[in-house]
A and B are shown apart, each in its own frame.
Chain A
Amino acid sequence: MSHPLFNREAVPDMPNPAGIEGIEFIEYATSRPQALGQVLESMGFRPVARHRSREVVLYRQGGMNLVVNAHPEDARVSATVDGSPVISAVALRVRDAYKTFRRCLDLGAWEVPSHAQAMELHIPAIHGPGGSRFYFVDRWKEFSIYDIDFVAIPTVDPNPPALDGMSYFGVVQYIGPNRSADWIAYYQEMFGFGLIPDDQRFGILPKGTLLRSPCGQFLWQVIEPDPWMESDSAPECLLRVGLGVPDVASAVQHLKARGVEFIESAQLHPEDRGALTRNQLGSVSFELVHQSAA
């Protein structure tokens, strides 16, 4: 009989089993790419490149890449919600994309078949909540993946600075009733996300459960419908993106000057901790969250 090897020195388990190192890009699918582009530009994103073979545009500000996918096949999901854009993918930076991808499949993730054309990158992906996808990208230090699949838009600055130092803070996911335990288990298993205690909250929308990526660079918030909202049987989805910003008031002021409207009610209004933009195109809003400058 073999003796179990006790962990005498309390050496922690591998803290980041999936090798996650941040968010590489977030993708929206929409059949109304120009309208979404306007919303993104008001938020400080600039179009910097177009995809070689598909109707896809890369927007950027600072370290944030945001992809607008209007390729008819991918934008079909948006058509089912009256053309409102949907967050269709989150690409995670990882140490070894193939390893992370294989590991997820071994643990029970669903593989997404690649549609890469000749000379394009095959970015491995698994299915996420509600028809969304998680991509795994490992080549973000030495060169830009966008140089392969995208063509730069002439005359524009390929690296526009971030408005008020904004960066990706996290993603909010709406889930079904009594589904928190399921999704917490899923993200712990697949990505090694850790639970954040209930008394620790960021921004002005504290509902649901918060998880943190093992790289410490972004949060994931899962929110169930309130128990009395029995009629809320909307499908699960990635709902909105949170943007971290060192000075919320200053960012709000600058964004307002660009035409961005904020929710201003007695319960919910811009303050030092955060702010929420008014919904655009039926589904697109951004949450600003105070984050000390790195």
Chain B
Amino acid sequence: MHVLDAYGMDTITLAGPLEAKLAAMKAAGFSQVMLSARDVVGHPQGLQAAVAAVRASGLRPTGFQVLRDFEGLSGHLHHYKVDIAKSMLEMCAALDSKVLLACSSTSRHATQDLDAIARDLRKLAMLALPLGIKVAFEGLSWGRTINEFTTAWDVVCRADCPNLGLGLDSYHVFAAKTPLDAIEDLDPDKIFLVQLADFMWQEAKTFEERMTTARTFRVFPGEGVHSEQLADLVLRLQRLGYRGDYSFEVFNDDYQQLPLDTVAQRARRSALWLNEDVLHRAAPLPAWVYNKSRA
């Protein structure tokens, strides 16, 4: 056990080749990594080399992202997306990642019928099931029909499939200003992923603003102006009984041009802030204590 075990970075936060990203995370003390498909397929030696790099790093995949705009389509669009989903699932399995992140559709071609959306998500979960993969469905704050975790939870419940659950991203929760009380309605065992990020603006009112901020100016938990809210969110999840991973989903143009170690150290500070100042989790005993008691 290590203090940072419950927290992980995301490959999208760092610049550079995959191996360098993994090495920087490891050096900062992290033991897990959220993998982005782009970072994996973009490996100059190809997918197999990327899979080997992840294995060699010893970092456990938190999850694999991201399947977009899957639900609500019909006819050839639906079949096209099923094919895309299958390819994503195959990569997810190759990486030994147990969670695929799917985010809510932004497409105007998709239906807004929640039962139809639930039916598609159930199909996605069935596709993932034989591979041993769970699907975490997340409401993007600029999603067309589902843009809050409350609606995302509604369709997850309608779909009612054991390997389909919720992906929570603090950024989208704050951008959409969803009241945190609704967290009490969630089943902690059906929260398959929690992604944390803060940001520097007080508000992101329009979908346009939310999108730009989400993609260029997120910061690590504790670095932005929503730290209090973020602490509140994490404490509520703790109280609810959530004991899963926290992954830092930080898209930031500045971090993309800083040395990897510098950014990874910021992530480490953020994880320590969460662990010690927010969650007040006990620091595990050092290894010599165990060794002594065993002797």
> Do chains A and B interact in one complex?
yes
Residues of A within 8 A of B (CB): 106-110, 127-129, 176, 179, 181-186, 189-190, 236
Contact (Cβ within 8 A) B162 A108: no
Contact (Cβ within 8 A) B123 A186: no
Q: Which of B104-126 contact A (CB under 8 A)?
A: 122-126
Assuming A181-B162, A185-B161, is B130 touching A107 (CB within 8 A)? no
Contacts of B127 in A (CB 8 A): 108-110
Contact (Cβ within 8 A) A185 B124: no
**Other than the known A108-B124, A186-B126, what 17 A-B pairs have Cβ atoms closer than 8 Å?**
A107-B126, A108-B125, A108-B127, A110-B127, A110-B130, A127-B130, A129-B130, A179-B132, A182-B129, A182-B132, A182-B163, A183-B129, A185-B161, A185-B163, A186-B129, A186-B130, A189-B122
A231 to B222 alpha-carbon distance, docked (Å): 38
Contact (Cβ within 8 A) A128 B130: yes
23 A-B contacts, Cβ less than 8 Å apart? A106-B123, A107-B123, A107-B126, A108-B122, A108-B123, A108-B124, A108-B126, A108-B127, A109-B126, A110-B127, A110-B130, A179-B132, A181-B162, A182-B129, A182-B162, A182-B163, A183-B129, A185-B163, A186-B126, A186-B130, A189-B122, A189-B126, A190-B126
Assuming A109-B126, A110-B127, A129-B130, is B86 touching A185 (CB within 8 A)? no
Partner of A176, one of B124, B125, B132: B132
Contacts of B123 in A (CB 8 A): 106-108
State the Cβ distance, A206 to closest chain B Cβ, in Å.
Answer: 23
A128 to B126 alpha-carbon distance, docked (Å): 12
A185 to B163 alpha-carbon distance, docked (Å): 9
Count of residues in B whose CB is under 8 Å from the partner chain: 13
Q: Looking across the interface, which residue of chain A has its beta carbon closest to that of B124?
A: A108
Contacts of B126 in A (CB 8 A): 107-109, 186, 189-190
A189 to B162 alpha-carbon distance, docked (Å): 12
A184 to B126 alpha-carbon distance, docked (Å): 11
Q: Which of B66-114 contact A (CB under 8 A)?
A: 86
- A-B interface, 4 closest residue pairs, ranked by CB to CB distance from nearest: A108-B126, A181-B162, A108-B123, A108-B127
Contacts of B132 in A (CB 8 A): 176, 179, 182, 236
A183 to B124 alpha-carbon distance, docked (Å): 15
Contact (Cβ within 8 A) A110 B86: yes
| A109, A176, A179, A185: residue with the most chain B Cβ atoms closer than 10 Å | A185
Contacts of B130 in A (CB 8 A): 110, 127-129, 186
State the Cβ distance, B93 to closest chain A Cβ, in Å.
Answer: 11
Contacts of B129 in A (CB 8 A): 108, 182-183, 185-186
A179 to B131 alpha-carbon distance, docked (Å): 11
Q: Which of B157-187 contact A (CB under 8 A)?
A: 161-163
Contact with A along B186-207 (1 / 0, CB 8 A): 0000000000000000000000
| B123, B124, B129, B130: residue with the most chain A Cβ atoms closer than 10 Å | B130
State the Cβ distance, B126 to closest chain A Cβ, in Å.
Answer: 3
Contacts of A176 in B (CB 8 A): 132
A109 to B93 alpha-carbon distance, docked (Å): 16
Q: Looking across the interface, which residue of chain B has its beta carbon closest to that of A127?
A: B130
Contacts of A189 in B (CB 8 A): 122, 126
Contact with A along B146-162 (1 / 0, CB 8 A): 00000000000000011
Contacts of A182 in B (CB 8 A): 129, 132, 162-163
A288 to B122 alpha-carbon distance, docked (Å): 37
Q: Looking across the interface, which residue of chain A has its beta carbon closest to that of B134?
A: A182
A182 to B122 alpha-carbon distance, docked (Å): 12
A185 to B125 alpha-carbon distance, docked (Å): 10
A133 to B123 alpha-carbon distance, docked (Å): 19
Contacts of A236 in B (CB 8 A): 132
A106 to B74 alpha-carbon distance, docked (Å): 12
Q: Looking across the interface, which residue of chain A has its beta carbon closest to that of B127?
A: A108
A128 to B130 alpha-carbon distance, docked (Å): 7
A179 to B163 alpha-carbon distance, docked (Å): 9
Q: Looking across the interface, which residue of chain A has its beta carbon closest to that of B120?
A: A108
A182 to B162 alpha-carbon distance, docked (Å): 6
A182 to B132 alpha-carbon distance, docked (Å): 9
State the Cβ distance, A225 to closest chain B Cβ, in Å.
Answer: 13
Q: Looking across the interface, which residue of chain B has its beta carbon closest to that of A131?
A: B130
| A108, A127, A179: residue with the most chain B Cβ atoms closer than 10 Å | A108
Contacts of B162 in A (CB 8 A): 181-182, 184-185
